[in-house]
Amino acid sequence: MSELKTRIWMTGALEWFALIEGEEIFLGKREVPVPLEEGDSWTNGYGDIFTVIDGNIISAGKTDPPEIY
């Protein structure tokens, strides 16, 4: 992928956020693939599913949050 079009940033707590459709969205922590590439998908700790399509991070739905052991 040549360039990610979605604005993303990491906080001091190592949490990733993005500006998606004008809204600040929590992407996750370690579950976010770095570097982000076309076709990458992941689920954050709240069960929100994201994918990279045409250089944009999109919300692809919601599922049950992953179980933490």
pTM of the prediction?
A: 0.89
CA distance 28 to 16: 5
CA distance 5 to 7: 6
pLDDT at position 2, please? Answer: 62
With vertex at residue 27, the alpha carbon angle to CA 1 and CA 41, rounded to the nearest 5 degrees, is: 45
What residues pair up with 59 in beta bridges, in sequence order?
50
Is position 68 within any domain? Answer: no
Structural domain of 41: 7-62
With vertex at residue 48, the alpha carbon angle to CA 61 and CA 42, rounded to the nearest 5 degrees, is: 95
**Residue 12, C-beta contacts closer than 8 angstroms, at least 6 positions apart:** none
| Local confidence pLDDT in tens for the 69 residues of the chain | 468 999 999 999 999 999 999 999 999 999 999 999 999 999 999 999 999 999 999 999 999 988 888
Is position 1 within any domain? Answer: no
Please state the domain count of the chain.
1
pLDDT at position 1, please? Answer: 47
